[in-house]
Structure 1
Amino acid sequence: MPLFYIHVAVPIEEPTFVNSLKVIPTEPYMFDDPSRMTKFVKDDGENFFIKDDLDNWYFMTFFFGNQLTDLKWARQYFRPAYVDSKTQLSLVDLLEKEKLTVKENGFDKAYGHSSVCIDSMSQFTWEQQARLANVDGEDDPQVVSNIHFIRNLYKSQETRYIAGAETRSFATVTENRYYFNHIHLHNTAFLYLQLFVYHQEHNVLPSNQMVPRLLGNLWSSKQASNSQWNPSLIEIEENKNI
């Protein structure tokens, strides 16, 4: 059974300890303008903060679990009344520990980039891919009847990027273990999440690079009120069980 990961971005108010944060220089290729996103870190942890060029702040971290339901609860930054008091909400606890205030935006879940490394794409079903992209648990109802994705092949190993359907989330599924462990988990997972957040918040894709721009088109394709996307640049797979 593979481990499932989720990288999250939480909209927050400006931290009260902002003056103690260290700025990390942005690499030139990451965004179309280096000022789009500024990264800040604390000396005592691997979590970090992002401020966009419109002064919006986000707290970024990641979690992992053995099942999809673990990811579902991991991006929850507010404890709903329907959730059992014994259910662990790791992000809620972490935000309290960091003394951060969530910015109210009518949504109770962080932006999420979920991911998994598998041996074969054929063994990861359509339903599992949809649930991963939407960050649904195993027992949640299946709402959408198709998945939108783009993919690449490297040495016959497939990587898919799958759009969530109005869930403020998307997924990466890959057969490429080296890419997953050495590049994705600590680099591109966070970078693509930052691009995703900016795209969702401002309807702008802040990159001139090919893959990010293809991702922007993919993300737009699953927005209910967005018709400005190119269908020739994505693949669509229908649920054959319906």
Structure 2
Amino acid sequence: MQAIYIIVHSMIGMGQVLYVRGFNEKLHDKLDDQSKKEGVSPASILEDAFEEWLKNKQEIPTKHYLVLYSDDNSLLNFVRKVNDLEDGDWFHVTCGPESHSGVKYLKKHGWYDATISPYIQGIKKPEKYSSEVFDHLGSVSADKQTCFIGFMTEDIAHRYSLQKASEIEKIYNTKRIGGVVFCPYDMRKLNNFNFIDIFKLFEEHDEIFVLKENEVYKLNLDKTNHAKLFL
């Protein structure tokens, strides 16, 4: 048998009733026990839980995506389509070397450039410089739902190594912004990388996508074992 809690409290002189359904007997007993331990009413615990849930729902989600491509047309098709998904509620940002075709396209279409000048001088110290860029990005995007396409980590992978780029991605994960972040990497520029390095890069992102011409493929990595290879 399911229990139904009815919480009644006063708000501006009016009675307000909140029905919470779906509690089974075990949860009912746990709630009663917890309320006795804390010396508060079950209604108070439920209200606190609801307020916390509502707060989490209202927070802007943070997504950090890896995008792999191997030709300029695939990348430009991707940034065009993202740009065309125009929504007034989104704050559009990019960063990276000014010579990059993706940066050029997005800036031409009004995207905010979070790159800190001088880029060439700053990127000589990638950890320090990227941390400053991420701080700047967090400042300009505060309380905004942001769409960010960044080419800085791709450039770091090209100039230094994929391992160094993964370290920079890890720094970003400590300074995440609200919204969706895309990190494109040109596979043609990743020289002398190994699977250990690329898996580290995968691990620093929430999801991985591969671009092929006009198509976007979601890459799923499922760990298995040798025995399952024969099933």
Q: State if a TM-score over 0.5 links the two structures.
A: no
Identify, as 1 or 2, the structure richer in helix.
2
The TM-score, its normalising length taken from structure 2, stands at 0.28
TM-score (norm 1): 0.27
- Larger C-alpha radius of gyration, 1 or 2? 2
Bigger relative CO (Cα 8 Å, ≥ 6 apart): 2
